[in-house]
Amino acid sequence: MSNNNVSGFFTRAEIVQETAEQIMKDFGMFGVEITFSGDTSQAYNELHHQLIDQISLLLGRKSDLLFSVLYQVDITDREIAKATRELPHYNQVEIIAHQVIVRDLKKVLLRRYFKNRR
């Protein structure tokens, strides 16, 4: 999965819903609220904009909390650097928000893959 083809995985409602739930769980562990309306056709934009807002707030006020969230989500500096090259039209906060969505989508897909192999 590359940074440019995430939308291809956001075509099945249950995957979108599970990804949104994973994002809400990861941020909720640190008292940061992310919501999802359930509109799967606008899921990426809805989640991305909320994440941008929350990440911006955390960067300005509680950077240590942001780093804890990013550690929980499991986003590496290498992934951020790669996304920066692949998405030159995104600023740094938009890239971090995008990477949260990508990483939690990967978690959902891996969980589904191993669940179906049983």
- Give the pLDDT mean for 24-44: 92
Query: How does DSSP classify residue 93?
Result: H
Sign of CA dihedral 64, 91, 97, 113: negative
Q: Which domain holds residue 67?
A: 6-116
Half-sphere exposure of 56 (CA within 13 A, CB side): 9
| Residue 1 included in any domain | no
* Count of domains forming the chain: 1
> Model-level pTM?
0.87
The token pair that represents 114 in the structure block: 């191993």
pLDDT tens profile 91-111: 999 999 999 999 999 999 888
| Residue 22 included in any domain | yes
6 pLDDT band (50/70/90 cuts)?
low
Higher pLDDT, 118 or 112: 112
What is the pLDDT, as a whole number, of residue 4?
Answer: 56
| Residue 53 included in any domain | yes
